[in-house]
Amino acid sequence: MLPYRIRMAGKAMSEQLPAVLISEAEIDQRVRELAAEISADYADKGNVVLVGVLKGSFIFLADLSRRLTISRTIEFIAVSSYPDGNVASGAVRLVMDVRGNIENRHVLIVEDIVDTGHTLKYLIGMLRSHRPASIKTCTLLHKPGSAEVEVPIDYIGFGIGDEWVVGYGLDYAERGRTLPYIGVINPDD
């Protein structure tokens, strides 16, 4: 692994680049495939609202939205589900709701990763209160082995195991988010 530098609290910290789990090229190809599938499914639905879940989905949402061939608008929502930074408690808290009106509109929730399912279940229920015409879900990564609740996932980029991952929007303690690939880390290091 090649060393890289991260700035934290004004100090540079040398770290190793995470091992590649999913390459930049693989991500690009899969995002193109997802965009084609979503575009076909929503071809006759009018303007679709893509709801990106901050912060992790922002890179995936940007790349996906640029490749869609359908009319779309973008909204963001923010939730908190890791109160101590790295352990999922199951409790989800709304930090920022969508700002635009999604009533009677087709909504596609765009997530970076679905592991336990608690966050996505919460988001679906919360967004239903806005009375959209439909809600579907799209995630870049899915950890089926970590599921604690059942949630519908309509579009999945990649299924992965129980590894800790960073890159392409995903982070660990705000680090690794801007890597162009999905890498595996050991958070205990």
Question: Residue range 156-179: average pLDDT?
Answer: 94
Rounded Cα distance, 159 and 113, in Å: 10
> pLDDT category, 183, cuts 50, 70, 90?
very high
Question: Residue range 13-38: average pLDDT?
Answer: 91
Predicted TM-score of the model (pTM) = 0.85
> pLDDT category, 92, cuts 50, 70, 90?
low
pLDDT at 71: 95
**Catalytic option among 63, 112, 115, 189:** 115
- The dihedral through the CA atoms of 31, 32, 35, 36 has a sign that is negative
pLDDT at 4: 42
Rounded Cα distance, 179 and 171, in Å: 9
Average pLDDT, the chain: 86
> Scanning the structure block, which residue is given the tokens 């590649």?
20
> Scanning the structure block, which residue is given the tokens 């949402």?
61
| Secondary element (H or E) of residue 58 | helix 58-67
pLDDT at 3: 40
pLDDT at 80: 79
* Residue 115 bears catalytic tag: yes
pLDDT at 134: 96
